[in-house]
Amino acid sequence: MHKKLDDGIKIRVINKPVHRAADFNTVPRMVRKEPKLEKQPERQEYGERERRKGGGPRLALWFVALASAIFLGLSLVYMLSDAKVTITPRIESVALDENLSASKDSMSSPISFDLVVISGTEETKVEADKKELLETRSKGTAVIYNTFSTSPQPLLIDTRLEGSNGKIYKTEKKLTVPGMGKDGTPGKVEVGIYASEPGGDYNSEPLDFKIFGFKGTPKYDKFYGRSKGNLIGGTSGEFYVVPKENKEKIAASLEAALKKKLFEKAKSQIPQGFIMFPEAASLQLNGGLADAHSEVPEVPVKLQGTLYGLLFDTQKLTKEIAKRNVDQYDDSDVYISNIENLGFGLSNPENIPWSDLKNINFSLKGPAKIVWRMDSAKLGVELAGKKKKDFNSIMSAYPHAVSADLILKPFWRMTLPDDPKDINIITNYPK
Protein backbone atom coordinates (compact mmCIF):
# COMPACT_ATOMS: atom_id res chain seq x y z
CA MET A 1 0.00 0.00 0.00
CA HIS A 2 1.23 3.38 -1.00
CA LYS A 3 0.34 6.59 0.59
CA LYS A 4 0.87 9.76 -1.25
CA LEU A 5 2.11 12.63 0.72
CA ASP A 6 1.58 16.14 0.03
CA ASP A 7 5.07 16.76 -1.25
CA GLY A 8 4.81 13.96 -3.71
CA ILE A 9 6.83 11.46 -1.80
CA LYS A 10 5.42 8.01 -1.64
CA ILE A 11 5.80 5.92 1.44
CA ARG A 12 5.29 2.17 1.34
CA VAL A 13 3.77 0.68 4.40
CA ILE A 14 4.26 -3.02 5.00
CA ASN A 15 1.78 -4.73 7.30
CA LYS A 16 3.44 -7.37 9.52
CA PRO A 17 1.55 -9.88 11.68
CA VAL A 18 1.01 -8.98 15.29
CA HIS A 19 2.07 -11.66 17.83
CA ARG A 20 -0.54 -12.72 20.34
CA ALA A 21 0.15 -13.15 24.02
CA ALA A 22 0.16 -16.91 23.61
CA ASP A 23 2.98 -16.71 21.18
CA PHE A 24 5.31 -15.24 23.75
CA ASN A 25 5.83 -18.70 25.26
CA THR A 26 8.08 -19.55 22.43
CA VAL A 27 10.39 -16.68 23.23
CA PRO A 28 12.79 -17.23 26.22
CA ARG A 29 12.73 -14.53 28.82
CA MET A 30 14.16 -13.96 32.33
CA VAL A 31 11.65 -14.62 35.04
CA ARG A 32 12.37 -13.54 38.65
CA LYS A 33 11.24 -16.07 41.19
CA GLU A 34 10.15 -14.91 44.58
CA PRO A 35 11.55 -16.92 47.62
CA LYS A 36 9.09 -19.33 49.05
CA LEU A 37 8.38 -18.56 52.68
CA GLU A 38 8.12 -21.46 55.15
CA LYS A 39 5.17 -21.63 57.34
CA GLN A 40 5.94 -20.07 60.74
CA PRO A 41 2.67 -20.33 62.48
CA GLU A 42 3.14 -24.04 63.14
CA ARG A 43 6.43 -23.50 65.10
CA GLN A 44 4.97 -20.64 66.95
CA GLU A 45 2.08 -22.81 67.86
CA TYR A 46 4.45 -25.59 69.15
CA GLY A 47 6.36 -23.11 71.30
CA GLU A 48 3.15 -21.84 72.71
CA ARG A 49 2.07 -25.37 73.52
CA GLU A 50 5.41 -26.14 75.29
CA ARG A 51 5.31 -22.96 77.27
CA ARG A 52 1.82 -23.81 78.26
CA LYS A 53 3.08 -27.30 79.35
CA GLY A 54 5.86 -25.89 81.63
CA GLY A 55 9.09 -25.21 79.76
CA GLY A 56 9.90 -28.42 77.82
CA PRO A 57 13.62 -29.29 77.56
CA ARG A 58 14.60 -26.40 79.76
CA LEU A 59 12.48 -27.80 82.60
CA ALA A 60 14.08 -31.22 82.16
CA LEU A 61 17.54 -29.69 82.53
CA TRP A 62 16.49 -27.96 85.72
CA PHE A 63 15.17 -31.25 87.05
CA VAL A 64 18.48 -33.05 86.34
CA ALA A 65 20.47 -30.24 87.96
CA LEU A 66 18.30 -30.34 91.06
CA ALA A 67 18.61 -34.13 91.34
CA SER A 68 22.39 -33.89 90.96
CA ALA A 69 22.58 -31.24 93.67
CA ILE A 70 20.55 -33.39 96.03
CA PHE A 71 22.73 -36.43 95.31
CA LEU A 72 25.90 -34.39 95.85
CA GLY A 73 24.52 -33.02 99.09
CA LEU A 74 23.68 -36.47 100.38
CA SER A 75 27.13 -37.73 99.35
CA LEU A 76 28.82 -34.90 101.22
CA VAL A 77 26.70 -35.56 104.30
CA TYR A 78 27.66 -39.25 104.14
CA MET A 79 31.33 -38.42 103.67
CA LEU A 80 31.36 -35.90 106.49
CA SER A 81 29.25 -37.98 108.87
CA ASP A 82 31.06 -39.23 111.93
CA ALA A 83 30.37 -40.88 115.28
CA LYS A 84 33.18 -40.55 117.83
CA VAL A 85 33.23 -41.54 121.49
CA THR A 86 36.12 -40.30 123.65
CA ILE A 87 36.62 -42.00 127.02
CA THR A 88 38.86 -41.20 129.97
CA PRO A 89 39.47 -44.40 132.00
CA ARG A 90 39.93 -44.68 135.72
CA ILE A 91 43.54 -44.35 136.89
CA GLU A 92 44.84 -44.99 140.41
CA SER A 93 48.30 -43.70 141.34
CA VAL A 94 49.84 -45.71 144.17
CA ALA A 95 53.22 -45.91 145.88
CA LEU A 96 54.21 -49.58 145.92
CA ASP A 97 56.24 -51.25 148.64
CA GLU A 98 55.15 -54.85 148.32
CA ASN A 99 56.71 -58.10 149.51
CA LEU A 100 55.41 -60.92 147.33
CA SER A 101 55.96 -64.61 146.68
CA ALA A 102 55.54 -66.74 143.55
CA SER A 103 55.65 -70.39 142.56
CA LYS A 104 57.00 -71.92 139.37
CA ASP A 105 54.33 -72.93 136.82
CA SER A 106 51.62 -72.88 139.50
CA MET A 107 47.96 -72.56 138.55
CA SER A 108 46.84 -72.20 142.16
CA SER A 109 49.29 -69.52 143.29
CA PRO A 110 48.17 -65.87 142.87
CA ILE A 111 51.51 -65.13 141.19
CA SER A 112 53.41 -67.64 139.06
CA PHE A 113 56.72 -67.51 137.23
CA ASP A 114 58.61 -69.47 134.63
CA LEU A 115 62.37 -69.81 134.26
CA VAL A 116 64.24 -68.63 131.17
CA VAL A 117 67.64 -70.30 130.69
CA ILE A 118 70.07 -69.07 128.00
CA SER A 119 73.80 -69.82 127.74
CA GLY A 120 76.44 -67.95 125.80
CA THR A 121 80.04 -66.81 125.49
CA GLU A 122 81.74 -63.41 125.36
CA GLU A 123 85.33 -63.19 124.17
CA THR A 124 88.14 -60.79 123.35
CA LYS A 125 91.93 -60.76 122.93
CA VAL A 126 94.46 -59.35 125.39
CA GLU A 127 98.06 -58.35 124.69
CA ALA A 128 100.60 -60.10 126.97
CA ASP A 129 104.29 -59.19 127.17
CA LYS A 130 105.82 -62.20 128.93
CA LYS A 131 105.49 -65.93 129.47
CA GLU A 132 104.79 -67.70 132.74
CA LEU A 133 104.90 -71.28 133.93
CA LEU A 134 101.32 -72.44 133.84
CA GLU A 135 99.95 -75.64 135.33
CA THR A 136 96.18 -76.03 135.27
CA ARG A 137 93.77 -78.88 135.84
CA SER A 138 90.95 -80.01 133.58
CA LYS A 139 87.48 -79.10 134.80
CA GLY A 140 83.91 -80.05 134.04
CA THR A 141 80.57 -81.06 135.50
CA ALA A 142 79.31 -84.54 136.38
CA VAL A 143 75.95 -86.00 137.38
CA ILE A 144 76.15 -88.65 140.14
CA TYR A 145 73.38 -91.31 140.21
CA ASN A 146 72.15 -93.53 143.06
CA THR A 147 70.56 -96.84 142.08
CA PHE A 148 71.60 -98.55 145.33
CA SER A 149 68.69 -97.68 147.67
CA THR A 150 66.01 -95.15 148.51
CA SER A 151 68.29 -93.69 151.19
CA PRO A 152 70.36 -90.59 150.35
CA GLN A 153 74.17 -90.98 150.18
CA PRO A 154 76.43 -88.18 151.46
CA LEU A 155 79.78 -87.63 149.69
CA LEU A 156 82.70 -85.59 151.00
CA ILE A 157 84.48 -82.79 149.18
CA ASP A 158 87.25 -84.13 146.90
CA THR A 159 85.49 -87.49 146.57
CA ARG A 160 87.56 -89.38 143.97
CA LEU A 161 85.86 -90.37 140.72
CA GLU A 162 87.48 -92.94 138.48
CA GLY A 163 87.00 -91.97 134.85
CA SER A 164 86.48 -94.40 131.98
CA ASN A 165 89.82 -93.11 130.63
CA GLY A 166 91.58 -94.54 133.72
CA LYS A 167 92.30 -91.12 135.31
CA ILE A 168 91.13 -89.78 138.65
CA TYR A 169 88.97 -86.66 139.06
CA LYS A 170 87.61 -85.10 142.26
CA THR A 171 84.39 -83.37 143.36
CA GLU A 172 84.65 -79.63 144.10
CA LYS A 173 82.35 -79.72 147.15
CA LYS A 174 80.61 -82.12 149.51
CA LEU A 175 77.20 -83.29 148.38
CA THR A 176 74.36 -85.70 149.00
CA VAL A 177 73.07 -88.04 146.33
CA PRO A 178 69.27 -88.46 146.76
CA GLY A 179 67.84 -91.96 147.10
CA MET A 180 65.87 -93.74 144.41
CA GLY A 181 62.24 -92.88 143.87
CA LYS A 182 59.43 -95.28 144.73
CA ASP A 183 59.09 -96.08 141.05
CA GLY A 184 62.78 -97.03 140.82
CA THR A 185 63.91 -93.71 139.29
CA PRO A 186 67.58 -93.16 140.24
CA GLY A 187 68.39 -90.34 142.62
CA LYS A 188 70.80 -87.83 141.05
CA VAL A 189 72.79 -84.72 141.82
CA GLU A 190 75.00 -82.41 139.76
CA VAL A 191 78.49 -81.38 140.89
CA GLY A 192 81.60 -79.69 139.55
CA ILE A 193 84.71 -81.89 139.15
CA TYR A 194 88.41 -81.31 138.39
CA ALA A 195 91.42 -83.43 137.45
CA SER A 196 93.60 -84.79 140.23
CA GLU A 197 96.72 -83.67 138.34
CA PRO A 198 97.49 -80.68 136.07
CA GLY A 199 98.22 -81.18 132.41
CA GLY A 200 96.53 -81.62 129.06
CA ASP A 201 96.31 -85.41 129.46
CA TYR A 202 93.22 -84.96 131.62
CA ASN A 203 91.32 -83.03 128.97
CA SER A 204 88.70 -85.34 127.54
CA GLU A 205 85.43 -85.80 125.76
CA PRO A 206 82.48 -86.91 128.00
CA LEU A 207 83.39 -89.69 130.43
CA ASP A 208 81.66 -92.24 132.68
CA PHE A 209 82.70 -92.46 136.35
CA LYS A 210 82.73 -94.83 139.30
CA ILE A 211 83.20 -93.74 142.91
CA PHE A 212 86.69 -94.93 143.69
CA GLY A 213 86.04 -95.21 147.45
CA PHE A 214 83.23 -97.74 146.90
CA LYS A 215 85.47 -100.21 145.09
CA GLY A 216 85.05 -103.70 146.54
CA THR A 217 81.58 -102.95 147.97
CA PRO A 218 78.04 -103.47 146.60
CA LYS A 219 77.78 -99.73 146.13
CA TYR A 220 80.52 -99.65 143.50
CA ASP A 221 78.23 -100.79 140.68
CA LYS A 222 75.15 -98.98 141.99
CA PHE A 223 76.62 -95.49 142.18
CA TYR A 224 77.94 -94.02 138.92
CA GLY A 225 78.48 -90.71 137.23
CA ARG A 226 78.53 -89.15 133.75
CA SER A 227 80.12 -85.87 132.72
CA LYS A 228 78.04 -83.12 131.14
CA GLY A 229 80.12 -82.07 128.17
CA ASN A 230 83.89 -82.14 127.79
CA LEU A 231 86.53 -81.77 130.48
CA ILE A 232 88.82 -78.92 129.46
CA GLY A 233 91.44 -76.46 130.68
CA GLY A 234 94.27 -78.79 131.69
CA THR A 235 97.76 -77.68 130.64
CA SER A 236 101.39 -77.57 131.80
CA GLY A 237 104.24 -75.42 130.48
CA GLU A 238 105.27 -71.80 129.76
CA PHE A 239 102.63 -69.67 128.04
CA TYR A 240 101.61 -66.07 127.54
CA VAL A 241 98.89 -65.30 130.10
CA VAL A 242 96.66 -62.34 130.94
CA PRO A 243 98.52 -59.92 133.23
CA LYS A 244 97.29 -60.32 136.79
CA GLU A 245 96.65 -56.60 137.24
CA ASN A 246 94.19 -56.64 134.31
CA LYS A 247 92.29 -59.84 135.08
CA GLU A 248 89.58 -58.38 137.30
CA LYS A 249 88.89 -55.44 134.99
CA ILE A 250 88.72 -57.66 131.90
CA ALA A 251 86.54 -60.22 133.67
CA ALA A 252 84.09 -57.53 134.87
CA SER A 253 83.84 -56.05 131.37
CA LEU A 254 83.20 -59.43 129.74
CA GLU A 255 80.64 -60.36 132.41
CA ALA A 256 78.65 -57.13 131.91
CA ALA A 257 78.70 -57.55 128.11
CA LEU A 258 77.66 -61.20 128.33
CA LYS A 259 74.78 -60.49 130.72
CA LYS A 260 73.49 -57.68 128.53
CA LYS A 261 73.68 -59.81 125.39
CA LEU A 262 71.91 -62.78 126.94
CA PHE A 263 69.26 -60.58 128.57
CA GLU A 264 68.41 -58.91 125.26
CA LYS A 265 68.26 -62.30 123.59
CA ALA A 266 65.93 -63.62 126.29
CA LYS A 267 63.78 -60.50 126.18
CA SER A 268 63.27 -60.84 122.42
CA GLN A 269 61.80 -64.31 122.99
CA ILE A 270 59.37 -63.36 125.78
CA PRO A 271 55.78 -64.14 124.73
CA GLN A 272 53.11 -61.46 124.88
CA GLY A 273 51.56 -61.06 128.31
CA PHE A 274 54.77 -61.80 130.26
CA ILE A 275 57.48 -59.62 131.76
CA MET A 276 61.07 -60.15 132.90
CA PHE A 277 62.56 -57.43 135.11
CA PRO A 278 66.30 -56.72 134.56
CA GLU A 279 66.93 -57.35 138.27
CA ALA A 280 65.13 -60.70 137.97
CA ALA A 281 67.93 -62.15 135.86
CA SER A 282 71.16 -63.69 137.16
CA LEU A 283 74.28 -64.66 135.20
CA GLN A 284 76.03 -67.79 136.49
CA LEU A 285 79.59 -68.00 135.14
CA ASN A 286 81.18 -71.22 133.96
CA GLY A 287 84.77 -70.74 135.03
CA GLY A 288 86.80 -67.54 134.71
CA LEU A 289 89.91 -66.08 133.12
CA ALA A 290 92.48 -67.91 135.24
CA ASP A 291 93.15 -70.52 132.59
CA ALA A 292 93.46 -68.16 129.61
CA HIS A 293 96.85 -68.70 127.93
CA SER A 294 98.49 -68.75 124.52
CA GLU A 295 101.75 -69.59 122.80
CA VAL A 296 101.66 -66.12 121.14
CA PRO A 297 101.51 -62.68 122.82
CA GLU A 298 97.88 -62.10 121.82
CA VAL A 299 95.93 -64.16 124.37
CA PRO A 300 92.33 -65.12 123.50
CA VAL A 301 90.09 -64.60 126.52
CA LYS A 302 86.52 -65.79 126.81
CA LEU A 303 83.87 -65.95 129.48
CA GLN A 304 81.12 -68.54 129.45
CA GLY A 305 77.93 -68.24 131.43
CA THR A 306 74.26 -69.08 131.75
CA LEU A 307 71.56 -66.49 132.28
CA TYR A 308 68.60 -67.46 134.48
CA GLY A 309 65.62 -65.12 134.22
CA LEU A 310 62.29 -65.01 136.06
CA LEU A 311 59.35 -64.65 133.71
CA PHE A 312 56.10 -63.36 135.29
CA ASP A 313 52.52 -63.52 134.05
CA THR A 314 51.82 -59.77 133.79
CA GLN A 315 48.07 -60.02 134.32
CA LYS A 316 48.34 -62.17 137.46
CA LEU A 317 51.01 -59.88 138.89
CA THR A 318 49.01 -56.72 138.13
CA LYS A 319 45.76 -58.06 139.61
CA GLU A 320 47.54 -59.10 142.82
CA ILE A 321 49.01 -55.60 143.13
CA ALA A 322 45.59 -54.01 142.48
CA LYS A 323 43.98 -56.29 145.06
CA ARG A 324 46.48 -55.10 147.66
CA ASN A 325 46.33 -51.39 146.82
CA VAL A 326 42.82 -50.54 145.50
CA ASP A 327 39.83 -50.40 147.86
CA GLN A 328 37.02 -52.78 146.87
CA TYR A 329 38.84 -53.96 143.78
CA ASP A 330 36.33 -55.99 141.71
CA ASP A 331 38.77 -58.07 139.65
CA SER A 332 38.35 -55.76 136.64
CA ASP A 333 40.77 -55.82 133.73
CA VAL A 334 43.62 -53.50 134.74
CA TYR A 335 47.24 -52.91 133.84
CA ILE A 336 50.16 -50.92 135.25
CA SER A 337 51.33 -48.46 132.61
CA ASN A 338 54.86 -48.14 134.04
CA ILE A 339 55.32 -51.67 135.35
CA GLU A 340 58.75 -52.10 133.72
CA ASN A 341 60.08 -49.15 135.73
CA LEU A 342 59.25 -50.65 139.11
CA GLY A 343 62.13 -51.67 141.36
CA PHE A 344 62.45 -55.46 141.62
CA GLY A 345 64.42 -57.21 144.35
CA LEU A 346 65.02 -60.87 145.26
CA SER A 347 65.33 -62.14 148.81
CA ASN A 348 68.77 -63.78 149.42
CA PRO A 349 69.78 -63.83 145.72
CA GLU A 350 73.19 -65.34 146.55
CA ASN A 351 71.53 -68.50 147.90
CA ILE A 352 69.05 -69.10 145.09
CA PRO A 353 69.39 -72.56 143.45
CA TRP A 354 68.76 -71.25 139.94
CA SER A 355 68.94 -74.60 138.16
CA ASP A 356 66.26 -76.11 140.40
CA LEU A 357 64.16 -73.13 141.45
CA LYS A 358 60.59 -73.77 142.67
CA ASN A 359 59.58 -70.80 144.85
CA ILE A 360 60.80 -67.25 145.29
CA ASN A 361 60.22 -64.24 147.52
CA PHE A 362 60.61 -60.80 145.98
CA SER A 363 59.71 -57.14 146.38
CA LEU A 364 58.29 -54.44 144.08
CA LYS A 365 58.74 -50.77 144.90
CA GLY A 366 58.07 -47.41 143.30
CA PRO A 367 55.24 -45.20 142.00
CA ALA A 368 52.72 -47.10 139.87
CA LYS A 369 49.72 -46.13 137.74
CA ILE A 370 46.94 -48.72 137.79
CA VAL A 371 44.76 -48.21 134.70
CA TRP A 372 41.35 -49.76 133.97
CA ARG A 373 40.93 -51.14 130.44
CA MET A 374 37.75 -50.39 128.49
CA ASP A 375 36.01 -53.09 126.42
CA SER A 376 35.65 -51.04 123.21
CA ALA A 377 34.26 -53.93 121.17
CA LYS A 378 31.46 -54.56 123.67
CA LEU A 379 30.66 -50.87 123.98
CA GLY A 380 30.49 -50.47 120.19
CA VAL A 381 27.91 -53.24 119.93
CA GLU A 382 25.80 -51.70 122.69
CA LEU A 383 25.89 -48.23 121.09
CA ALA A 384 25.16 -49.35 117.51
CA GLY A 385 21.83 -48.00 116.23
CA LYS A 386 20.99 -46.29 119.54
CA LYS A 387 19.62 -42.77 119.84
CA LYS A 388 21.87 -39.96 120.99
CA LYS A 389 19.71 -39.34 124.06
CA ASP A 390 20.41 -42.92 125.27
CA PHE A 391 24.20 -42.46 125.35
CA ASN A 392 24.51 -41.50 129.03
CA SER A 393 22.34 -44.36 130.25
CA ILE A 394 24.44 -46.86 128.24
CA MET A 395 27.69 -45.43 129.65
CA SER A 396 26.37 -45.71 133.20
CA ALA A 397 27.03 -49.46 132.94
CA TYR A 398 30.75 -48.67 132.64
CA PRO A 399 31.67 -47.33 136.11
CA HIS A 400 35.41 -47.29 135.36
CA ALA A 401 34.94 -44.68 132.63
CA VAL A 402 35.63 -41.39 134.42
CA SER A 403 34.19 -39.41 131.50
CA ALA A 404 32.74 -40.14 128.07
CA ASP A 405 31.92 -37.69 125.27
CA LEU A 406 29.90 -38.36 122.11
CA ILE A 407 30.23 -36.32 118.91
CA LEU A 408 27.87 -36.95 115.98
CA LYS A 409 28.26 -35.31 112.58
CA PRO A 410 26.38 -33.66 110.96
CA PHE A 411 25.08 -31.90 114.04
CA TRP A 412 21.44 -32.68 113.29
CA ARG A 413 22.12 -36.43 113.41
CA MET A 414 20.27 -38.03 116.32
CA THR A 415 21.14 -41.74 115.88
CA LEU A 416 24.42 -43.64 116.03
CA PRO A 417 25.46 -45.85 113.10
CA ASP A 418 23.97 -49.33 112.91
CA ASP A 419 27.38 -50.92 112.30
CA PRO A 420 29.70 -50.90 115.37
CA LYS A 421 32.67 -50.57 113.02
CA ASP A 422 31.44 -47.09 112.08
CA ILE A 423 31.66 -45.90 115.69
CA ASN A 424 35.13 -44.58 116.52
CA ILE A 425 35.81 -45.29 120.22
CA ILE A 426 38.95 -43.62 121.60
CA THR A 427 40.21 -44.38 125.12
CA ASN A 428 42.76 -41.92 126.47
CA TYR A 429 45.15 -44.39 128.08
CA PRO A 430 48.24 -42.85 129.72
CA LYS A 431 51.52 -43.20 127.86
Per-residue pLDDT tens over the stretch 37-59: 455 555 455 455 555 555 566 77
Rounded Cα gap, residues 136 and 195, in angstroms: 9
CB 302 within 8 A of CB 122: yes
- Give the residue with greater pLDDT, 76 vs 340: 340
List 169's β-bridge partners, or say none: 161, 195
What's the first-to-final CA gap in the chain, in angstroms? 144
pLDDT given for residue 411 in this prediction: 85
Question: Which residues, other chains included, contact 154 with Cβ-Cβ below 8 Å and sequence gap of 6+?
Answer: 174, 175, 176, 177
pLDDT band with cut points at 50, 70 and 90 for residue 24? very low
Report whether pLDDT(414) > 80: yes
Q: For position 35, what pLDDT does the model report?
A: 52
Mean predicted confidence (pLDDT) in 256-269: 94
pTM above 0.75, yes or no: no
Between 35 and 236, name the one with better pLDDT: 236
Mean pLDDT, the chain, rounded, equals: 85
* Reported confidence tier of residue 189, pLDDT bands at 50, 70, 90: very high
Q: Is the predicted pLDDT of residue 132 greater than 70, yes or no?
A: yes
Mean pLDDT of 139-167: 96
Please report, for residues 121, 233, 250, 283, 400, the alpha-carbon distance to residue 306 in angstroms, rounded to integers and kept in the order given: 9, 19, 18, 6, 45
Residue 231 predicted with pLDDT over 60 = yes
22 has pLDDT over 50: no
Domains in the chain: boundaries: 41-78, 80-90+373-427, 93-118+275-372, 138-233
287: left (phi over 0), alpha (psi -120 to 50) or beta: left
Task: With a cut of 70, say whether residue 34 has pLDDT above it.
Answer: no
User: Residue 239 above 60 pLDDT?
Assistant: yes
Q: Which has the minimum average pLDDT: 63-72, 219-228, 295-304?
A: 63-72
Q: What is the mean pLDDT of residues 291-298?
A: 84
Q: Does residue 145 contact residue 221 with C-beta atoms inside 8 Å?
A: no
Euclidean distance between CA atoms 324 and 91, whole angstroms: 16
**pLDDT for 76 beyond 60:** no
Mean pLDDT of 174-189: 95
* Rounded Cα–Cα distance for residues 148 and 219 (Å): 6
Return the pLDDT at 310.
95
* Range in 98-112, 161-175, 373-387, 411-425 the model is least confident about: 98-112
